[in-house]
Amino acid sequence: MLMRYFVTLTGLVLAALGLVGCGSDSSDELAVPVQRWNLPEVVYTEDGRPDPAILAPVQILHRGNGTQPQGLDPHVTEGVPSSNVQRDLFEGLLSRAADSSIIPGVAERWEVSEDGFTWTFFLRENARWSNGDRMTADDWLFSFRRIVNPATGSRFAILLNPILNAEDIIAGRRPVEDLGVRVIDDFTLEIDLEAPNPLLMEVLTHSLASPVHRASVEAHGDRWARPGSMVSNGPYMLEELAMQSHIRLVRNPYYWDNDNVIIDEVFFYPTEDLSAELMRYRAGELSWTYEVPNTQFNWIQANLADELAVGDWLGIYYFGFNTTREPFNDPRVTTALSMAIDREIITDKLTRFGQRPAFAFTPQGIPGYDPPEPEWATWTQAEREDHARELLAEAGFGPGNPLRLEIRYNTHEDHRRISLAIAAMWQQTLGVYASLINEEFRVFLSNRRQRAVTEVFRSGWIGNYLDPMYFLELFFSENPQNDVGFFNSEFDQLLNRAARAADLEERLGLLREAEILLLETQPFAPIYTYVSARLVKPYVRGWEPNVLDQHPTRFMFLLRQDPIQQETE
């Protein structure tokens, strides 16, 4: 469903005032008591499992999950909500522990050749698909070839570029049979690389690198990732998928580590309305929220502080510019628009949970990498705005010829509020007229990808591992996810050189050069770096905060709960 409205000068100013000064910060209308419990002390047995005496008799977890997932096929879908579910359904060669450290997955061990070009993975002989079929190295060969096959249309396939010939196969220059993946025997798989790359371990933990069940894919085609036809290999399997209602997963009895999984069922609920999600959490319908409404920041801090989990999240919130359309192919225009955004108003008055203003695309926190920033990042906001007006005038825009543009965003209260605020800033500072267009997530992604109607769009990019390449390759000219349409041969060359650099310091230096070049052209306006902020019931245990904000259900468990009081606050 498409909702479109034009924001006039008066509307912009009123919206800005409303956003920064008059937003609701009360949950009084939610006549639901604040729950408190007596919880047992967490005690573990000698084998490291929670003592059965402390566990709740019913182990069903209810998780808020943001936007309706785009789909569940790990090779073609994108977005955090999809990944959250896929992380429970599938397991790669390598996996991640509760603290996000890399651990063995289906591969119980691996070896790297002395020259670093060949990785050998030794698979668990007790690994099974959810229908009981044995997993073998052939499953991995099929899956990796499917990912890089152009016919699959994977927008994340570029992540496999470190594998020999993957880049040429994705571009249609080689057949999939040339991919550097070989079956040695049923339980041994070899992967050859273009160049030594220790970050292959990180890539193999991505949901993209999950295996798919060949017989199911071939029998059901595009409909294989649905209840009744999906066969998965992770700790859970798909039981129900009700659009805009919930996704229900149940334990996979054939999972190799099923004995150590405690949660029997997990529900994922799409929750685009954050106030409604908070209401469901307070009513006990959710044990874990996807986010929290920043409009109720003060109330949450006062009443649910002990259930509020806030931590750094390796990600960037930004506005993208479609550089295939005029005037967004002019760096003067895009730089002016970026400079006119008062990021501190957004982080201090709107988001409010510790997000930090961003001027680079790569977030802080990646070991060994210091993200560059444009010179104007150190200026005052008034200085930025003065220069922004000069740049826009040089590009031919001003009172006699105001720039008019469209901002598109997917349905979400925060995206709407931020878009309104930025539109107000652009009009007040630059005289730019902005039309805001709200789109359902799938329509939003499709329009971004096609670049036919989209001009400016909100976006976010979340790191699935600690590497600046994961962020910068989004703007590689051949990347299907390059929705801004950025093309710069020098930038591409720097990324290619970095991908083949054996020395880590040299690699990071090349990536920093590439990011400097990217910032000079400003095909995007970075706004802030993410934090994860959610509410978690105190009886949900086994999860650990981590910068990737990845929380597999397999490590969680529910404590026995004895309510002690019901307080309306």
pLDDT in tens, 379-419: 999 999 999 999 999 999 999 999 999 999 998 889 999 99
Q: For residue range 539-560, what is the model confidence (pLDDT) as tens digits? A: 999 999 999 999 999 999 999 9
Lowest mean pLDDT among 115-119, 306-310, 497-501: 497-501
Contacts of 276 (CB under 8 A, 6+ apart): none
Q: How far apart are CA 299 and CA 309, in angstroms?
A: 15
Nearest to 143 by CA among 44, 86, 71, 217: 217
For the chain, residues classed under CATH 3.40.190.10 are 34-68+241-311+535-567
Strand partners, 118: 192
Helices (H) and strands (E) in the chain — how many of each? 16, 21
Q: How far apart are CA 332 and CA 340, in angstroms?
A: 12
Helix axes 9-21, 413-430, angle to 10 degrees: 120
Given a cut of 80, is residue 252 above it in pLDDT? Answer: yes
For the chain, residues classed under CATH 3.10.105.10 are 3-24+313-531
Report the pLDDT averaged over residues 427-450.
95
Q: How far apart are CA 87 and CA 94, in angstroms?
A: 12
Q: For residue range 84-100, what is the model confidence (pLDDT) as tens digits? A: 999 999 999 999 999 99
Work out the pLDDT band at 506, boundaries 50, 70, 90: very high
Asked if residue 491 lies in contact with residue 514, where contact means CB atoms within 8 angstroms, the answer is yes
Work out the pLDDT band at 198, boundaries 50, 70, 90: confident
Report the pLDDT averaged over residues 246-273.
97
User: Is 233 or 17 the better-scoring residue by pLDDT?
Assistant: 233
Q: Are strands 181-185 and 118-123 parallel, antiparallel or unpaired?
A: unpaired
In the chain, % of residues over pLDDT 90? 86
- Domain 80-223: state its class: alpha beta
For the chain, residues classed under CATH 3.90.76.10 are 80-223
Backbone angles phi, psi at 91, to 5 degrees: -135, 130
Return the beta strands (E) in 58-198 as ranges: 60-64, 94-96, 102-104, 107-112, 118-123, 181-185, 188-192
Encoded amino acid at 121, one letter: F
pLDDT for 75: 98
| Fold (topology level) of 34-68+241-311+535-567 | D-Maltodextrin-Binding Protein; domain 2 (3.40.190)
pLDDT for 503: 87
Work out the pLDDT band at 17, boundaries 50, 70, 90: very low
Instruction: Tell me how far apart the terminal alpha carbons of the chain are, to the nearest angstrom.
Output: 37
Give 42-94 as a DSSP string.
P-B-TTSPBPGGGB-S--EEEEE-SSPPS-S-TTT--SHHHHHHHHHH---SE
Given a cut of 70, is residue 499 above it in pLDDT? Answer: yes
- The CATH number corresponding to 3-24+313-531 among 3.40.640.10, 1.10.357.10, 3.10.105.10, 3.40.605.10 equals 3.10.105.10
Q: How far apart are CA 434 and CA 444, in angstroms?
A: 17
For 3, the enclosing helix (H) or strand (E) is strand 3-6
